[in-house]
Chain A
Amino acid sequence: MIFNEIKKEYLNLDSPVLIVGSGPAGISAALDLEKKNISSIIVEAGSEFYDEKSQSQYEGQIIGDKLESLSQSRLRQLGGTSGIWGGWCRPFESYDFEKWLIKKKDIDPFLEEACSILEIQNNFRTSSLSQDVNQIEYQYSNIQFGSHYKEHLNKSDKIKIFLNSQLTYFESVNGNITNAVVNNNDKSIKVKSNHFILAAGGIENSRILLWSRIKNKRLLDKELPIGKMWMHHPFIYGGKGIVYKTKLNKRFSKKFLDYEGPVHFTPSENFLSQNNLLSCSMHIIPNEDKKLKNAKQIIREIACFAPKLGNKLRMFLEKKQLYCGNIKMHLEENYESNNYISLDIKKDLSGVPLPRLNYLQSKSTIKSCKKALMSFANFCVEENIGRIALSDDIVNENKIQNIAGGGYHHSGGTIMGVNKNNSVVDRNLKVHNTNNLYVLGSSTFTSIGYVNPTLSIIQFSLKLSKHIKEKLA
């Protein structure tokens, strides 16, 4: 059931799990707990639809390099940021888990179920085109969690969602969280539960824990690196170019993954480890603008220095045998000591300090991006399957200014690890030295890889709901 405010009569009923946030992480966990016959309460700070006043509570200060505004890169409403996401899905690669406490095999069992929640096929092929370059396949989900699951959530007896209810901090006794203090219509209400899951997003998870530590010094250790090891996932324009569809097909026959939509490439694991690089992915979206203005412009540009080739490309474009456009890239970032979330002096309407994000682009990310793109450009020439151009910012290893819209994947801040000195949560996503407080979402990721994180976030939600069921049994 979904309510616009907290209904106190429902708080007294036995709901062993309280989930903070109704994004993909929170709703997936609640849906899976419901299947296991476990009731849960979700508190969501936003309302059912976009609301400007509510959204403005997501403001925050960014210090350092250019980054998308914090109020524009996430959504405060039922369903969270899935209300504006692009839907690109692909699970982590096994080599992404090198720094993790767990391995890919630990979350693989939840992939099928995560795909069914997102209504996509569990089909993420990788094809090795050369020693250095792989072609990869994504699946694209149309699910916006708020609108898609609204009817189900409204009818559910096991899930109660209270909208316009902002968690401000947690209260505890001896490491046991007893209450979540929630601001609902300017009233402070204490919500009790047995297990608390913080699934409020890549910035909010750190902000709430930092504020909870200030409000209740016994709850969270001073040493816990809350807000630290924060990572961005830059989504940039790395260059532009053309790739021949027919030549790819001819040259690589069965190895080429021929399907409708964008074409995606990534450096191979071998190439990354040999050159000690961070990972990245390269995407060419063929019909980004339907009139092919951008594609025609690129071919016109090629015709300036290679007129014969330009003419040939024009014919290929007319026959729709060409991937032609900007090359968008997702880049992995390492966590650096410069990048962390702290609390500002300014407070929001509920009295919680706004976040202050310190961020500097990492040089190793830009270097890795350049090497990967150059290797891909060389590969295209050597195999005669396309021609690629790198932007000058990448060639000169300047700070990246040319950011593609979307792809706001905030991660880290409450990362997973062995102990409280280097991490905030353990392998079961439980906050160190607490008994019943869990964190869900990309804030727990130890590395972000090149993939879009939502599918993996849902895999972790399902893993956590299984763990909670075992605890409750």
Chain B
Amino acid sequence: MSFFQFKKHRRNFLKFLGIFLFFPSKAFPKFNTKLINKRIVKKNKFTWFLDFNDK
């Protein structure tokens, strides 16, 4: 591997790591919608199914 190739791979890896750490939903978009974005709220004898971004 040449020096330039190594630099390119390192850049891509760091880019992915940054996205994964700060925006996990964007790193694994398909995985995310099913598992990360759910928020369950219990109130007045009802269980609400909400999105994680419902603020």
Contacts and interface: CB of A to CB of B under 8 A. Distances in A.
A309 interface: yes
The listed residue with most A CB atoms (<10 A of its CB), out of B41, B48, B50, is B48
Nearest to B48: A389
Contacts of A304: 43
B44 to A, nearest CB: 7
Contact of A381 (B43, B47, B50): B50
Contacts of A301: 43-44, 46
Interface string A308-325: 110000000000000000
Contacts of B6: none
A384 B50 CA distance: 9
Interface stretch (A26-34, A140-148, A390-398): A390-398
Contact of A308 (B37, B38, B43, B55): B55
Contacts of B54: 306, 308-309, 387
Query: How many interface residues does chain B have, given as a range?
Result: 10 to 19
Interface string A114-138: 0000000000000000000000000
A378 interface: yes
B49 A378 contact: yes
Contacts, number: 54
B49 A384 contact: no
Contacts of B44: 301
B47 A395 contact: yes
B45 A305 contact: no
Interface in A324-380: 374, 377-378, 380
A5 to B, nearest CB: 54
Chain A interface SS verdict (over half): helix
Contacts of A391: 45-46
Given A305-B41, A382-B34, A239 B46 contact: yes
Chain B interface SS verdict (over half): strand
B12 interface: no
Contact of A380 (B37, B46, B47, B49): B49
Interface string B26-53: 0000000110011001011111111100
Given A306-B54, A392-B47, A381 B41 contact: no
A257 interface: no
A388 interface: yes
A306 B48 CA distance: 11
Nearest to A374: B49
Given A307-B55, A387-B54, A302 B48 contact: yes
Given A306-B55, A307-B55, A309-B55, A381 B38 contact: yes
A387 B45 contact: no
A406 B48 CA distance: 26
The listed residue with most A CB atoms (<10 A of its CB), out of B33, B43, B45, B46, is B46
A387 B55 CA distance: 13
Interface string A75-106: 00000000000000000000000000000000
Contacts of B51: 381, 384, 387
A74 interface: no
A236 to B, nearest CB: 14
12 contacts: A240-B46, A305-B43, A380-B49, A381-B38, A382-B33, A382-B37, A384-B51, A389-B47, A389-B48, A389-B49, A390-B49, A395-B47
Interface of A: 239-240, 301-302, 304-309, 374, 377-378, 380-382, 384, 387-392, 395
